Amino acid sequence: MTYSRIAGTGSYLPQKILSNADLERLVDTTDEWIFARTGIRQRHIASEGECSSDLALHASEQAILAAGIDRHQIDLIIVATTTPDRIFPSTACLLQHKLAIAGCPAFDIQAVCSGFVYALATADQFIKSGAAKCALVVGAETISRITDYSDRSNCILWGDGAGAVILQAGEEPGIISSHLHADGKYNELLCVSGGVSQKESKPAIQTEGNAVFKIAENTLDAIVDETLGANGMEKAHIDWLVPHQANIRIIQATAKKLGMGMDRVVLTVDRHGNTSAASIPLALAVAVRDGRIKRGATILMEAFGGGFTWGSVLIKY
């Protein structure tokens, strides 16, 4: 039996920081409100001309180095992004070119904040089936480009960044299981106004935050049960929760469900904000780099996002 395992992680954050104090100058809000309701203090913002593929490149180079592979070994590239550089070619193809490799399949996945979980689960299927041996899986976002900085209901949430992993074939897991879901009937609760087919001159995120919040909390509660149940595991078997970083109160609810102290939850939302598809690989890379996550740890990753989409990946690191 072939499994896939994470061989290396990488991350990148643009230099510019947008603090809550900066946002106080843009909209009617306060640092106290933002921090109390979301757990966010600051987020990073890509500079003009810096695109999702540029952020993805930095994160990928770090992951390649950490995995100790030659980039030419990569035989699959998947980029999860809601904010591709262009409508086409895919950001994955642009990244492939920037990495100066060619030939392997490269494509984007669009599942908004659940994008990285979807991408990791997809790469896992390629590896398990023998179609790939060494995949580069990236979450990269310049979500600031579709943020309306006059809309206080959600402009305080978003940040830019990228995270990447190298996923390699191995004889032991690795990825233990993945669980993906979607329900399009909720599409209007968290969406971008228009796009290509449905024309809109300046697309921007619109959300009914409180409704999204409640559904996210309940749905993530259920995905914990589904993931543990599918593997006959107990809550105590999970060493680390690496959640999508949307809102600290949602993360606290999932940790409570798992009976976990917050000291076993990787939190980046305070410094990164919600970086959509990039948030999980960014958080994973941070905790691997600072030594908290070690080889052999059992990690639950979970996410919820526009669509709605949601999912989890359970791994032995």
136 belongs to the binding site for ligand UT7 (CB under 6 A)? no
81 belongs to the binding site for ligand UT7 (CB under 6 A)? no
247 belongs to the binding site for ligand UT7 (CB under 6 A)? yes
- What are 41's two structure tokens? 């203090």
Instruction: Tell me the number of residues near ligand UT7 by CB under 6 A.
Output: 20
Report the residue number, 139 or 305, with the smaller CB distance to ligand UT7: 305
Contact stretch for ligand UT7 (CB under 6 A) within 62-70, 135-143, 148-156, 228-236 = 148-156
Report the residue number, 70 or 183, with the smaller CB distance to ligand UT7: 183
CB of residue 121 to ligand UT7, shortest distance in Å: 18
246 belongs to the binding site for ligand UT7 (CB under 6 A)? yes
- What are 59's two structure tokens? 């994160």
Backbone torsions φ then ψ of 159, nearest 5 degrees: -145, 160
210 belongs to the binding site for ligand UT7 (CB under 6 A)? yes
Which of 7, 109, 156, 287 is in the footprint of ligand UT7 by CB under 6 A?
156
CB of residue 284 to ligand UT7, shortest distance in Å: 17
CB of residue 153 to ligand UT7, shortest distance in Å: 5
C-alpha separations of 177 from 58, 114, 235, 241 in Å: 28, 16, 15, 15
Report the residue number, 97 or 152, with the smaller CB distance to ligand UT7: 152
Contact stretch for ligand UT7 (CB under 6 A) within 139-147, 206-214, 225-233, 291-299 = 206-214
153 belongs to the binding site for ligand UT7 (CB under 6 A)? yes
Q: Which 8-state DSSP code applies to residue 287?
A: H
CB of residue 264 to ligand UT7, shortest distance in Å: 21
Report the residue number, 107 or 149, with the smaller CB distance to ligand UT7: 149
Round to whole Å and give the CA distance between 3 and 22: 46
Cβ atoms 300, 179 nearer than 8 A = no
CB of residue 17 to ligand UT7, shortest distance in Å: 18
Q: Taking the C-alpha atoms of 172, 299, 7 and 176 in order, what is their torsion angle to the nearest 10 degrees?
A: 30
Element housing 192 (H / E)? strand 190-192
C-alpha separations of 45 from 39, 139, 152, 158, 288 in Å: 18, 16, 17, 9, 23
113 belongs to the binding site for ligand UT7 (CB under 6 A)? yes
Which of 223, 250, 299, 315 is in the footprint of ligand UT7 by CB under 6 A?
250
Element housing 205 (H / E)? strand 205-207
Round to whole Å and give the CA distance between 201 and 221: 38
- What are 135's two structure tokens? 């995949």
DSSP string covering 51-95, please? -HHHHHHHHHHHHHHHHT--GGG--EEEEE-SS-SSSSS-HHHHH
105 belongs to the binding site for ligand UT7 (CB under 6 A)? no
Closest CA to 305 of 200, 198, 223, 232: 223
Report the residue number, 129 or 150, with the smaller CB distance to ligand UT7: 150
Positions that interact with ligand UT7 (CB under 6 A): 29, 33, 37-38, 113, 152-154, 156, 209-210, 212-213, 216, 246-247, 250, 274, 304-305
